[in-house]
Amino acid sequence: MSKFIVTGGKKLEGTIKLSGNKNAALKLIPAALLADSPTTLTNVPDISDVSVMLDLVTKLGVKVTREDHAVTIDPSGLSSFDLDPDLSSQFRASVVLAAPLLVRFGRAVVTPPGGDQIGERLLDTHFAMMQKMGVEINRKDGRYFLEWKKKKNVDIFLDEPSVTATEMGIMISSAIPGVMKIEDAATE
């Protein structure tokens, strides 16, 4: 067994700069589309997945301003609910955009997401959660067509504690009249 031996007696001091969190940024960008005014996110990592997410929302009509590690997202021009298939297929988190599009338009058109192939990463839990919330899902020509008929007071038990499905459920619940309860939600 390996071990670390730490010899104390010296005071730690100084400053470190922490990098931004990719997974947080990839959920906060879609969440910003729920706002009625611009949202500024700071300490956003300058990585390809974040850049592609920003390109995706720009294609939807959203104004994005990026300066250093800050991103301002102005959703006032949001005019489309159809995600660009080429951009969507580049990374896993693209599916999260379905949530704010359902809230804003009552519909969304999404392509199965791409990204890291870490075992089998299906969308079954995400779709089951959305269906329990009143979303009709149809697949045609390799794309998913989602239409939301809002339900009141929704109780959901997730098939598995999926982080992304939980985050999407929270975003969609922002527009549900009444109470929404998610059981077996991910707690990360």
- 159 carries an active-site annotation: no
188 burial (CB, 10 Å; 0-12 / 13-18 / 19+) is exposed
| Largest distance between two CA atoms of the chain | 66
116, 124, 141, 159: the active-site residue = 116
Half-sphere exposure of 2 (CA within 13 A, CB side): 1
Could you tell me the two tokens for 54?
Answer: 């920003």
Relative to beta strand 180-183, strand 143-148 is: unpaired
The amino acid sitting at 132 is K
State the catalytic residues. 116
